[in-house]
Structure 1
Amino acid sequence: MQRRLIASAAIDVINDVGLDGARLRDVAQAANVTTGAVMHYFDGKDAVLEAALEEAVRRILEKQDSPRGRTGPMDVRRFIKSACAYLPIDAGSRQEWRVWLAFWGRAIADERLRALHRQYYAEIVERLIGLLPAIRTTDLPPAPSQMRRCADALIAAIDGIGTRATLEPEHWPPDRQRETLETLLLPLLTAFANGSSDS
């Protein structure tokens, strides 16, 4: 519990000052604990920052695990509406996106962070693959490769919109994000749902 509290505080600090500006003292202050308490749970600044990334990803995966829409078949528009929860449309998700993107920049030159990103994306893809069959309106099961392509396209759309909205929040209010995601996903998911994209 204390580790998650500190990781959440690190998200707040990274959101305010970025990865390079984040100091253990600031994280401790944001968590309302001593720097010694932070060091008790973490080996140093990098470990705290990685815990912040892990916490941001945990929150994303928690959105996928939420019961919303998991009670049987789901229509495509409802699926897209639930996918909008991953966009930076509120204060909490904007913080998560800022942390996620801050680590993207660092992962370019750090193989260990690239491996973490690959692992997190693999988890997200697998969870989406588990959700996609709920929108199928045909009895024919989709091919695994088709579900993977669909999940990859979903993530690419969300990443693209989320990145722009994080970097240009004044130009990408929540309504524009939702409308753009629907424009991108509706044809893709409709074809997937009715089996017309099966190959």
Structure 2
Amino acid sequence: MPAIVDHDKRREQVASVAYDLVAEMGIEAVTFRQVAGAAGSSTAIVSNYFENKGHLLHEVYRIANRRVMDRLQVAFEQDEDLVDCLSVVLPVTEENRRTWHVWLAFWGRAHCDGTYREETARNAGESVGLYYRMLARRYGVDEAKRDPQVETLARRLVATVGGVALQCVLAPDDWPLSRLREIIADEIATLDAAFAQRSA
């Protein structure tokens, strides 16, 4: 009797192997042959799940975005302190550094490739939405309603977290976790003050 293959799981495994290779070597260095070798399979198996390299790479980019959003969502649902919650995306662990390396590998394509541009915009929108919910909960605002001021503050927070995280990727020795958390905490205090002014 032939073995039963979980095709969704196999496809996910192949994409995860490609994700690791992109994190280590960048986009251009990754080939179906390398992915197959690292996955312990044949190139026919890889091409069975992905039509071409572009299709596979797009899935790698989606994996990076999903993993970070999942980590943020879990931290948010556990009602962690806001600085602790946002710290789960910072490139201070091996897993997070790999994610940021994957992002950097793809962001150069986003400005000239519609597929990556759309995925980048979709992920950015989800990020703002989640940060909005974090601040709405913090300020006692209905999460289901769009408060323009809270949305502006959420965008500022996204920019701050993303900005310091990127600096950490590029110069990790200059950006220890303590410094990253301090800057994020300072920005949250500034946002809190800005929100408080409207009810003063």
TM-score when scaled to structure 2? Answer: 0.84
**CA shift at 1:69, angstroms?**
4.9
**Correspondence 1:23 to 2:26:** no
Q: CA contact under 8 A between 1:80 and 1:186: conserved in structure 2?
A: no
Q: Provide the C-alpha distance between the structure 1 equivalents of 2:149 and 2:199, rounded to a whole number of angstroms.
A: 7
**Correspondence 1:4 to 2:26:** no
Alignment map for 1:17-166 (pairs within 5 Å): 17-66=25-74, 68-70=75-77, 78-136=81-139, 144-166=147-169
- Number of aligned residue pairs: 191
Q: CA contact under 8 A between 1:101 and 1:163: conserved in structure 2?
A: no
Partner residue in 1 for 2:185: 182
- Aligned AA (1:101): L
- Structure 1: stretches of 5+ with no match in the other structure: none
- Structure 2: stretches of 5+ with no match in the other structure: 1-8
Q: Deviations over 1:14-70 (max 9, x none)?
A: 11111111112222233333221111111111111111111111111111221x453
Computed over aligned residues only, the root mean square deviation of the Cα atoms, in angstroms, reads 2.5
Q: Deviations over 1:89-135 (max 9, x none)?
A: 10001111111121111112223211211111111212222232221
TM-score when scaled to structure 1? Answer: 0.84
Partner residue in 1 for 2:176: 173
Q: Provide the C-alpha distance between the structure 1 equivalents of 2:71 and 2:120, rounded to a whole number of angstroms.
A: 18
- 2:28 alignment partner, SS class: helix
Whichever of the two has the greater Rg, that structure is: 2
Which 4+ stretches in 1 moved above 6 angstroms? Answer: none
Q: Which has the higher contact order (CA 8 A, sep 6+)?
A: 1
Identity of aligned residues (%): 28
**CA shift at 1:71, angstroms?**
5.8
**CA shift at 1:138, angstroms?**
8.0
